[in-house]
Amino acid sequence: MKAWFACTGAELLAMTPDRVAAELAAAQMRRRLSSEPTQLSAWREQAVILADAADRCDGQDWTIAFEYDLLRLEKRIDAVLLTDRAILVLEFKTGATSVSAADRAQAEDYAQDLFDFHAASRGHPILPVIVATRMAKPAPFQPPLPIPGLSPATEASASSLSGLIAASAYSLPQPTAPLSGPAWLAAPYRPVPTIIEAAATLFARNSVADIAAARADAPNLARTTQAIQKALDIARAAGERVVIFVTGIPGAGKTLCGLNTVFGEVRREGSAFLTGNAPLVAVLREALACNRAGIDLALGPSNDPERRKRSGRLRQARHEAAAALQNVHRFLADNAHRDHPPAERVIVFDEAQRAWDAHQAGRDTQRRVSTLTMSEPAHALAIMGRHQGFAAIVALIGGGQEINTGEAGLREWGRVIRSTPGWRAVAAGTVLTATEASQRLADAEEPWLLTDADLHLDISMRSIRDDAAARWVDAVLRGERGEAAAIARASASLPFLVTRSLDAARQGLRAGTPGLRRCGFVRSSGAKRLRAEGFDAQLIGTDEPVAWFLERWPDVRASDALETAATEYACQGLELDTVGLAWGGDFRRGHAGWEAWRFAGTAWQQVRGASETEFIRNTYRVLLTRARYETVIWVPPGSRASDPFHDRTRPAVEMDAIADYLLACGARPLPPPAPPRPAPSLL
């Protein structure tokens, strides 16, 4: 049971407030959490208020769950009140005389979390309530709709809560199957964390099993975690060197498994998470540091006094996070020409299929002078091979996400392992059957390769409400309209919506992201003519993505300001709850299917090369798979030939064809925003 303490209304009426506070204090001690005298006082006051409501509303049959853990949010609901017909999520603000917008967002986020992840909550009305105990005149109560689902947050005082509960009961019909308190308490709560939330929770030495028992239809995440652990244990016991390949579709949990290897409860000393994705490194480092320093990122902009006050702790936490999360290119360059082994015996190589080939690794650029002489897979094995005995590389492989030239692919890893004595590999059989030769580890079984089917993840964890999203995206980008439409028809609610209006896209994103959920725009780096549509701003460097992913409105740098868009380079490996995809002219429909285009000078040029075409296709695969809930696809209207100042670089007919194709594949038109419901009179 996730509640610290639960009882019926009758049991609450028979107990003293001190007894309730004592039960909660004991639960707090069992969890090894620090206690404060003010918390005991708050618990006593909550018990008094709820007992009074149970007495006034004849609530002896209610179930009341105090301090209900929401593991995904690393927070707790003060109390969940279960009547026979509704779930009331109660957030108490002891001594408060008013309710802030942040209070409403917090309560709505708690309610949304129950709706999404608690098995017994989705079939009932859920009403979030902020109880500001000393509020003189709460806003008029708006009864919930008499259907299952979420209602907007409402407010109450200590004295008005019982009236609100009575009014909600009066407005809701008696259900065919009354809500059972004991059944609700026993029902599973299976949160699916974001990458940032998961990293922070694992950094606190939790287990991937704790944070992602996740969905009942995705047990392979736990199996894959166990398979990695098993392979590491066998290699350690035998003093062997091993590369463990973890494959999977976008959003299936590969990064989560890698983070668990470095941060989880079985964390091995001398391990590091390496990635060439600079924005991912920067965002995760700052998120982990803030979490370790006790700074709540959901509270607002980074320049608040509380964050400045903790700056000393934050500096130390940043140092700790930097040691565990490293840029793979710098790790290889720093260690390539040393004689001694690195401090790490286990490295997690994120997006390992994107490791550079020998030409790209040895190329000098404006930003660096290369010291590498081999491909990155070859250097990785050479560096880790300096260890006497056990050494391991956990290589995370994301299919269909190659977006740069010079990416070596799985073929190079296979070549290097085959030619480097003392190394072996473990992987799922899918590494032998990929369609593209560059993404096959080998063409047939090899003596150095052991297969384990549990090392492949084929169910999307990112898409919360419909795991058909990744399959639909794949069919759409392959040009299989009929297959995509069939997937859409079989889906309960395909999470892709299309609009031609940027204003409508912004309204839809805000309306579809309640509470503390995050929304934001993404776009292709090649979508150069979005500038003419009034939407050209994109993230640059590594500082901008940190603010974009971690800060909150009214910080204008935040994603939910909806002013700037993350490109495929800034958002790969990360995610948002609701995403707005600004579709550009670099990937459009032609007579034979999808065509890739590049903007040069003043005009578009069609891309003829197969590899570059595939990079652009994969760019849209990345962008279409960043959302945990809905993706709102904005296809600009373009410029029509009849316009007085017709712009040939934005042909409306091309944009129309993209929108028509997406709709034919089963994407839904974005509905107009619903008008606010007037608050009915209770007189």
Written in H, E and C, the secondary structure of 120-185 is CCCCCEEEEEEEECCCCCCCCCCCCCCCCEECCCEEECCCCHHHHHHHHHHHCCCCCCCCCHHHHH
Report pLDDT for 682.
Answer: 36
Mean pLDDT of 429-441: 86
Flag whether pLDDT at 644 surpasses 50.
Answer: yes
For residue 510, give the amino acid letter. Answer: R
Q: Give, in words, the CATH class of 3-186.
A: alpha beta
Q: Which span out of 115-129, 232-246, 289-303 was modeled with the highest average pLDDT?
A: 232-246
Specify the DSSP class assigned to residue 41: H
Q: Which residues in 333-473 belong to E strands, given as ranges?
A: 346-349, 391-398, 423-427, 449-451, 456-457
Mean pLDDT for 489-515 is 92
pLDDT at 427 over 90: yes
Q: Residue 674 has what pLDDT?
A: 62
CATH number for the region 195-457 comes to 3.40.50
Residue 413 has pLDDT above 70, yes or no: yes
| Euclidean distance between CA atoms 525 and 260, whole angstroms | 31
pLDDT in tens, 253-286: 788 888 888 877 656 667 899 988 888 888 888 8
pLDDT of residue 677: 44
Mean pLDDT computed over 506-534: 92
3-state secondary structure 55-104: HHCCCCCCEEEEEEEECCCCEEEEEEEECCCCEEEEEEECCCCCCCHHHH
What integer best gives the mean pLDDT of the chain? Answer: 86
Burial class (CB in 10 A: 0-12, 13-18, 19+), 575: buried
Q: Please give the residue that has the higher pLDDT: either 10 or 71.
A: 10
Q: What is the DSSP letter of 268?
A: P
Phi, psi of 164 (to 5 degrees): -65, -45
Q: Mean pLDDT, to the nearest integer, of 545-552?
A: 91
Cα-to-chain-centroid distance, residue 96: 33
Report pLDDT for 280. 83
pLDDT number for residue 472: 95
Report the SS3 class of residue 8. Answer: strand
For the stretch 176-192, pLDDT in tens is 788 999 999 999 887 76
**Residue 615 scores a pLDDT above 70:** yes
How far is residue 470's CA from residue 458's CA, in Å, rounded to a whole number? 10
pLDDT at 406: 62
Length of the chain: 683
Confidence class for position 204, pLDDT limits 50, 70, 90: low
Within a 10 A sphere around the Cβ of 557, how many other Cβ atoms?
19
Residue carrying structure tokens 């700056």:
311
pTM for the complete prediction?
A: 0.76
pLDDT higher than threshold 50 for residue 207 = no
Tokens at 172, concatenated: 């809701």
* Helix (H) or strand (E) run with residue 273 in it: strand 271-275
Lowest mean pLDDT among 210-214, 354-358, 587-591: 210-214
Placement of tokens 């020409």 in the chain:
337
In this prediction, residue 366 carries a pLDDT of 52
pLDDT of residue 367: 59
- The reported pLDDT for the residue numbered 675 is 58
Element (H, E) at 321: helix 311-324
Q: Looking at residue 214, what is its pLDDT? A: 41
Higher pLDDT, 466 or 537: 537
Percent of residues, the chain, with pLDDT higher than 90: 55
What are the residues whose beta carbons fall under 8 Å from the beta carbon of 324, sequence distance 6 or more?
203, 262, 263, 271, 272, 273, 288
Q: How confident is the model at residue 305 (pLDDT cuts 50, 70, 90)?
A: very low
Sorted by where each begins, the domain ranges of the chain are 3-186, 195-457, 469-669
Contacts of 633 (CB under 8 A, 6+ apart): 496, 497, 498, 499, 580, 581, 583, 662, 667
Q: How far apart are CA 315 and CA 320, in angstroms?
A: 9
What is the predicted pLDDT for the residue at 30? Answer: 86
More confident residue, 430 or 674: 430
Per-residue confidence (pLDDT) for residue 296, from 0 to 100:
65
Q: Find out whether 388 and 369 touch, Cβ atoms under 8 Å.
A: no
Q: What pLDDT band is residue 248 in, cutting at 50, 70 and 90? A: confident
**pLDDT-derived band of residue 217, with 50, 70 and 90 as boundaries?**
very low
Strongest mean pLDDT among 203-207, 369-373, 485-489, 544-548: 485-489
pLDDT digit string, tens, across residues 16-68: 999 999 999 999 988 777 777 889 999 999 999 999 999 999 999 999 999 99
Most confident region among 10-24, 205-219, 300-314 by mean pLDDT: 10-24
Could you tell me which residue, 206 or 62, shows the higher pLDDT?
A: 62
pLDDT at 681: 38
Q: Is the predicted pLDDT of residue 528 greater than 60, yes or no? A: yes
pLDDT above 60 for 496: yes
Pairing of strands 668-669, 519-523: unpaired
pLDDT given at position 474: 93
Q: Is the pLDDT of residue 215 over 90?
A: no
